[in-house]
């Protein structure tokens, strides 16, 4: 996605190397929409370009002003507040850049607000995220096992995914079905320890198909490519 | 204490030994560094021991129930224990009290589980899928542990699968290497009463002890 907007990866890397000399292709992880690099505060920085259903949105997290200039993101005619700069992109749609403060050793992340239209399109998303959180809590009561970790991990991924979806996507329907399938599964075992012995391969397979689709559509990388 | 397995064609690993052997992976920290996630000390001991056994052409075996228990419970517990370690969390860039993300914990579980699953196809590993313990012996060993339940209360008693593994050692005249305190605490009694052939605590199998 960012290739379209910011040029190819090598070009971006070359520019970034001016202020982050230790940056190389090796220490940059790339997936469909995210590049990460170590910044001068020894923290991890991310440039992330995401797609929304009605326009193209650029979201740059932990961006330092220097990078802003290097990437020619036209700071002229920008509206600026504490952390967000808005400007018109080449598609004539409003784009936003988030500039966050870095407080070493941990970075403070300023979340990009989702477009208001998203709320109008599907008001049940917040409810679904809340439901996921409650299910995760209910699974925490079970003894630690692969099944328990798998269910909680899959649900956390789904919650993160829902926060990244900016349009009404078919994947939301899949996630809803998945969440409904899992909800109450832990109640089926009279003895909590027997939950670890259930064969939940089919649930894992459904989750993998969600992962696959999320990564294909550029919402979230697959679990194996996720980082802290 | 010197340990030699040269007289054996096989040794038996318990679930912990298998998990520790596979428990080594890396995770990118928030600071951009690659952090090794393993079980300090035990991963190194099992890796050295396994290398030693492979070099001596001694195969490693276990029974299906124990292997599955390792994949279902032991693995996740080992990871959970590791990711709650404050030093490791600091290395990963997690703030004090910050919850370890469930999806990343699942990712670690998945990665290590794949390694554990693969191990059964190694030519130095043998998974006994058909072993069924003698039911009379199994009842006797249960009584043995129940009788010691009071003294072992603080430390617990072995699971049914571990009891089967103890008997498997007897049936196959093969030493059982274990890191399970439930097993190791009673090894002398178990050997004396002929419930097992031999139990070797994993912590004794450090490189310098192996001959």
Chain A residues whose beta carbon lies within 8 Å of the beta carbon of residue B30: 43-44, 106-107, 227-228
Considering the domain architecture, whether residues A172 and A219 belong to the same structural domain is answered as yes
pLDDT of residue A159: 95
ipTM of the modeled complex: 0.91
**CA distance linking residue A76 with residue A74, whole number of Å:** 5
Give the number of other CB atoms < 10 A from CB of residue B163.
23
CB contact under 8 Å between B77 and A196, yes or no, is no
Q: Are residues A77 and A99 in the same domain?
A: yes
A18 shares a domain with A52: yes
- Contact with chain B for residue A147, Cβ under 8 A: yes
Interface of B with A in 20-39 (CB under 8 A): 27-32
Residues of chain A in contact with residue B95, where contact means CB-CB under 8 angstroms, are 106
Q: Are residues A85 and A183 in the same domain?
A: no
Pair A143, A196: CB distance under 8 Å: yes
Are both A133 and A216 inside the same structural domain? yes
Is residue B153 very low, low, confident or very high in pLDDT (cuts 50, 70, 90)? low
Per-residue pLDDT of A48-71, as tens digits, reads: 443 332 222 333 333 445 555 555
Is the same domain home to A126 and A40? no
| Mutation site for B-interface testing, chosen from A144, A158, A221 by largest number of B Cβ within 10 Å | A144
pLDDT at res. A36: 54
Indicate the pTM of the whole model: 0.71
Same-domain pairing of A124 and A105: no
Tokens of B210: 């192996």
Cα–Cα distance between A175 and A159 in angstroms, integer?
9
Task: State the DSSP H helix or E strand holding residue A107, giving kind and residue range, or none if neither.
Answer: strand A106-107
- Same structural domain, A68 and A153: no
A73: closest CA among A101, A109, A64? A64
What is the residue-level pLDDT of chain A in tens, covering all 228 positions? Answer: 333 344 555 666 676 666 556 556 655 544 434 555 554 444 555 554 433 322 223 333 334 455 555 555 544 433 333 344 444 444 444 444 444 333 222 233 334 444 444 444 456 788 899 999 999 999 999 999 999 999 999 999 999 999 888 676 789 999 999 999 999 787 777 777 788 889 999 999 999 999 999 999 888 999 999 999
Query: How many domains are contained in chain A?
Result: 2
Q: What is the pLDDT of residue B47?
A: 97
Domain end: A113, A134, A157, which one?
A113
Do A6 and A102 belong together in one domain?
yes
Averaged over B54-79, what is the pLDDT? Answer: 96
Same domain, A218 and A137: yes
Are residue A109 and residue A125 in the same domain, yes or no?
A: no
- Domain with A215 in it: 119-225
Q: Is B124 helix (H, G, I), strand (E, B) or coil?
A: coil
Among candidate residues A113, A134, A156, the one where a domain is terminated: A113
Domain boundary among A113, A130, A151: A113
Q: Where are the domains of chain B?
A: 14-40+65-122, 131-206
A130 shares a domain with A90: no
């Amino acid at each position: 996605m960012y290739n379209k907007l910011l040029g190819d990866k090598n070009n971006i890397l070359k520019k970034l190397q001016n202020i982050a000399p230790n940056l190389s292709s090796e220490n940059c992880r790339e997936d469909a929409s995210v590049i990460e690099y170590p910044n001068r505060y020894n923290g991890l920085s991310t440039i992330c370009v995401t797609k929304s259903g009605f326009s193209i949105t650029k979201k740059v997290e932990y961006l330092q002003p220097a990078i802003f200039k290097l990437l020619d993101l036209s700071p002229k005619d920008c509206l600026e507040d504490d952390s967000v700069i808005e400007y018109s992109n080449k598609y004539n749609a409003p784009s936003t850049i988030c500039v966050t403060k870095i407080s070493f050793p941990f970075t403070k992340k300023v979340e990009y607000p989702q477009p208001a239209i998203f709320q109008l399109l599907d008001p049940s998303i917040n409810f679904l995220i809340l439901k996921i959180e409650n299910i995760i809590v209910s699974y925490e009561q079970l003894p630690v096992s692969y099944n328990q970790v798998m269910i909680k991990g899959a649900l956390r991924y789904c919650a993160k995914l829902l926060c990244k979806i900016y349009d009404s996507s078919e994947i939301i329907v899949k996630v809803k079905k998945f969440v409904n399938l899992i909800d109450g599964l832990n109640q089926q075992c009279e003895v909590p320890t027997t939950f670890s012995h259930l064969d939940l391969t089919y649930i894992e397979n459904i989750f993998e198909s969600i992962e696959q689709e999320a990564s294909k559509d550029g919402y979230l990388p697959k679990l194996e490519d996720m980082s802290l | 204490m010197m340990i030699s397995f040269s007289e054996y064609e096989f040794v038996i690993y318990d679930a912990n030994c298998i998990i520790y052997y596979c428990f080594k992976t890396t995770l990118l920290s928030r600071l951009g560094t690659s952090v090794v996630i393993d079980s300090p000390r035990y991963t190194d001991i099992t890796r050295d021991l396994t290398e030693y056994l492979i070099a001596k052409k001694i195969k490693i075996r276990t029974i299906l129930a124990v292997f599955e228990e390792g994949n279902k419970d032991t693995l996740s517990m080992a990871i959970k224990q590791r990711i709650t370690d404050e030093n490791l969390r600091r290395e990963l860039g997690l703030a004090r009290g910050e919850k370890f993300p469930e999806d990343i914990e699942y990712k670690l579980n998945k990665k290590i589980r794949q390694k554990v699953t693969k191990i059964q196809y190694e030519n130095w590993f043998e998974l006994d899928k058909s072993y069924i313990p003698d039911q009379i012996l199994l009842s006797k060993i249960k009584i043995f542990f129940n009788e010691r339940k009071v003294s072992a209360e603080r430390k617990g008693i072995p699971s049914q699968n571990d009891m089967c593994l103890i008997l498997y050692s007897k049936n196959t005249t093969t030493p059982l290497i274990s890191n399970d305190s439930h097993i190791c605490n009673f090894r002398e009694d178990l050997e004396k009463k002929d419930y097992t052939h031999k139990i070797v605590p994993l912590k004794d199998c450090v490189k310098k002890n192996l001959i």
